[in-house]
């Protein structure tokens, strides 16, 4: 087992990883930027190293600083969390060259599955249905026009290196495609330093359903069921749950098998998520794979009764997966508590938390790095807490979520809590009758 793990991340996920390391008896090293000095991940790690100023390209994304921190503290493994360097193949390669284990898949798997256009080709080859579109990145507008004409409008231009709903444009007719190509390309270039775009059929009002996988070097390729992440705003997830209230048992099985076909074909190692869009007829199409742990992983942990981070660490250490898939138990729902003002178009609301009280009680889990008097810096994403509730069934989980949000008090900043409360009062949500257009159609913000 590893002697010491450095966590190359911040916020709730850094703390989440530290917690599992402590339970495994592995010492931890936190890294932090100058504005994160007072974050709980720094407080709870055994050691902490400042890696630079606030901007992430000078700290959390700065590979030499992170490697130096690992070398001076004697860490023999790095957990990248999600975001930042988690899907950076070059970083995972450099770790290997420095004799430090990157807790995640091989650089080759990241390259094959982390690039969306490439991943679609990989899945198509093994017979998994993918959203119809360009087979690879498109080079210019004329090529985009040609492919769009073949598959039929509406289409979507998407960033090949994309994430967080950025670099994505719906194109309803040919006259709009030139401008969309420009703006999506510019956005992708600015966000991911890679302007490459690909194109696919725009599926109207789809459901987003994803499969959690875990694979080791001992021949185990497992999936742990699905998460329904259809409650999204501007293509970004806000609420995730498992099981999906939409898909049938047959589709659940087929999606699980499809996900495993894909990961087997690249000899994948570690945790990953295979994402699908599902249309109203329950046809599913692969869209992308995340070659890392995801924000919403606790939903699976609650219904499948396992620690995904623990298993990630075991696999990275060359050990077999400890928790084989079990039947799901009950229902779990995650609510992303973001420091954003839902009444002002979800504008970020950084600043000092004047007062904080977390809910508690049976079936309520809070993953968060913040506390009373903590100052949320404006430099990073606005996720400040995740509330995950478990119930014996979906209605029970919804009731529990309502009472837990009532107990949840944050003063000094605006959060998405009132938004979640509105969703929980909505009849369609309560009935489980929603797709990715739910927020636009049902919630007045």
Query: Given candidates 52, 105, 114, 162, which one binds ligand ADP under the rule CB under 6 A?
Result: 162
Q: For the chain, what percentages of helix, strand and coil (3-state, to nearest 5) are there?
A: 35, 25, 35
Q: What's phi and psi for 282, nearest 5 deg?
A: 70, 20
Examine residue 208 and tell whether it contacts ligand ADP (CB under 6 A). Answer: yes
Touching ligand ADP, residues 384-443 (CB under 6 A): 436
Of 437, 421, 381, 429, nearest to 235 by C-alpha is 437
Up-side HSE of residue 354: CA atoms within 13 Å toward CB? 4
Catalytic residue among 16, 169, 292, 336: 292
Examine residue 259 and tell whether it contacts ligand ADP (CB under 6 A). Answer: no
Examine residue 156 and tell whether it contacts ligand ADP (CB under 6 A). Answer: yes
Of 333, 373, 370, nearest to 39 by C-alpha is 370
Cβ(198)–Cβ(131) below 8 Å: no
Q: How far is the CB of 417 from ligand ADP (least distance, A)?
A: 23
Closer CB to ligand ADP, 120 or 331, in the complex: 120
Q: What's phi and psi for 125, nearest 5 deg?
A: -60, -35
Examine residue 144 and tell whether it contacts ligand ADP (CB under 6 A). Answer: no
Examine residue 212 and tell whether it contacts ligand ADP (CB under 6 A). Answer: no
- Placement of tokens 């270039």 in the chain: 189
Angle between helix 11-24 and 308-316 (nearest 10):
70
Q: Tokens representing 13?
A: 């996920």
Examine residue 269 and tell whether it contacts ligand ADP (CB under 6 A). Answer: no
**What letter would DSSP give residue 327?**
-
Touching ligand ADP, residues 170-199 (CB under 6 A): none
Examine residue 232 and tell whether it contacts ligand ADP (CB under 6 A). Answer: yes
Number of H helices, E strands in the chain: 15, 22
Closer CB to ligand ADP, 89 or 277, in the complex: 277
How far apart CA 220 and CA 191 sit, in angstroms, is 36
Cross-strand partners of 208:
277
Cβ(199)–Cβ(134) below 8 Å: yes
Examine residue 202 and tell whether it contacts ligand ADP (CB under 6 A). Answer: yes
Q: How far is the CB of 203 from ligand ADP (least distance, A)?
A: 4
Closer CB to ligand ADP, 61 or 67, in the complex: 61
Examine residue 200 and tell whether it contacts ligand ADP (CB under 6 A). Answer: yes
- Told to judge if 169 belongs to the known catalytic residues of this protein, a careful annotator would answer no
Q: How far is the CB of 162 from ligand ADP (least distance, A)?
A: 4
Q: How far is CA 268 from CA 79, 161, 258, 304, 318, in A?
A: 17, 19, 14, 21, 13
Contact region with ligand ADP (CB under 6 A), list: 162-170, 304-312, 369-377, 386-394 = 162-170
Examine residue 203 and tell whether it contacts ligand ADP (CB under 6 A). Answer: yes
Touching ligand ADP, residues 5-44 (CB under 6 A): none
Closer CB to ligand ADP, 17 or 131, in the complex: 131
The helix/strand/coil state of 189 is helix
Examine residue 124 and tell whether it contacts ligand ADP (CB under 6 A). Answer: no
Cross-strand partners of 133:
200
Examine residue 278 and tell whether it contacts ligand ADP (CB under 6 A). Answer: no
Contact region with ligand ADP (CB under 6 A), list: 66-74, 134-142, 201-209, 297-305 = 201-209
The binding site for ligand ADP (CB under 6 A) comprises 131, 156, 162-166, 200-203, 206, 208, 232, 235, 275, 277, 287-288, 436
Q: Catalytic residues, which ones?
A: 292
């Amino acid at each position: 087992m590893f002697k010491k793990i450095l966590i190359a991340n911040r916020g709730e996920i850094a703390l989440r990883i530290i917690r599992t390391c402590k339970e495994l008896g592995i010492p931890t090293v936190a890294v932090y930027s100058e504005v994160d000095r007072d974050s709980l991940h720094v407080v709870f790690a055994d050691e902490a190293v400042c890696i630079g100023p606030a901007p992430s390209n000078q700290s959390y994304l700065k590979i030499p600083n992170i490697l130096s921190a690992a070398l001076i503290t004697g860490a023999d493994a790095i957990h990248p969390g999600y975001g930042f360097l988690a899907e950076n193949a070059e970083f995972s390669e450099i770790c290997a060259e420095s004799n430090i284990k990157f807790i995640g898949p091989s650089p080759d798997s990241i390259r094959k599955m982390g690039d969306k256009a490439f991943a679609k080709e990989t899945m198509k080859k093994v017979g998994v249905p993918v959203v119809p579109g360009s087979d690879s990145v498109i080079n210019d507008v004329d090529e985009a026009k040609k492919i769009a004409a073949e598959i039929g409008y509406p289409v979507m231009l998407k960033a090949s290196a994309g994430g967080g709903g950025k670099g994505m444009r719906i194109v309803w007719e040919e006259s709009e495609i030139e401008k969309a190509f420009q703006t999506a390309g510019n956005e992708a270039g600015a966000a991911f330093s890679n302007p490459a775009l690909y194109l696919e059929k725009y599926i109207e009002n789809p459901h987003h359903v994803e499969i959690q996988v875990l694979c080791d070097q001992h021949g185990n390729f497992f999936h742990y069921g699905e998460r329904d992440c259809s409650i999204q705003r501007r293509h970004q997830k806000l609420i995730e749950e498992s099981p999906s209230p939409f898909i049938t048992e047959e589709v659940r099985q087929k999606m699980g098998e499809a996900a495993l076909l894909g990961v087997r074909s690249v000899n994948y190692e570690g945790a990953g998520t295979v994402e699908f869009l599902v249309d109203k007829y329950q046809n599913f199409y692969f869209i992308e794979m995340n070659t890392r742990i995801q924000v919403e992983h606790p939903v699976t942990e609650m219904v499948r009764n396992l620690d995904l981070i623990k298993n990630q660490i075991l696999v990275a250490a060359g050990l077999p997966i400890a928790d084989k898939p079990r039947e799901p138990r009950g229902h779990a729902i995650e609510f992303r508590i973001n420091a954003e003002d839902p009444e002002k178009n979800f504008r970020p609301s950084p600043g000092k938390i004047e007062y904080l009280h977390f809910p508690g009680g049976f079936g309520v889990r809070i993953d968060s790095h913040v506390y009373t008097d903590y100052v949320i810096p404006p430099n990073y994403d606005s996720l400040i807490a995740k509330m995950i509730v478990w119930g014996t069934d979906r209605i029970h989980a919804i009731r529990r979520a309502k009472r837990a949000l009532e107990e949840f008090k944050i003063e000094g900043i605006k959060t998405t809590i009132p938004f979640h409360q509105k969703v929980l009062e909505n009849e369609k949500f309560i009935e489980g009758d929603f797709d990715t257009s739910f927020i636009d159609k049902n919630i007045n913000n």
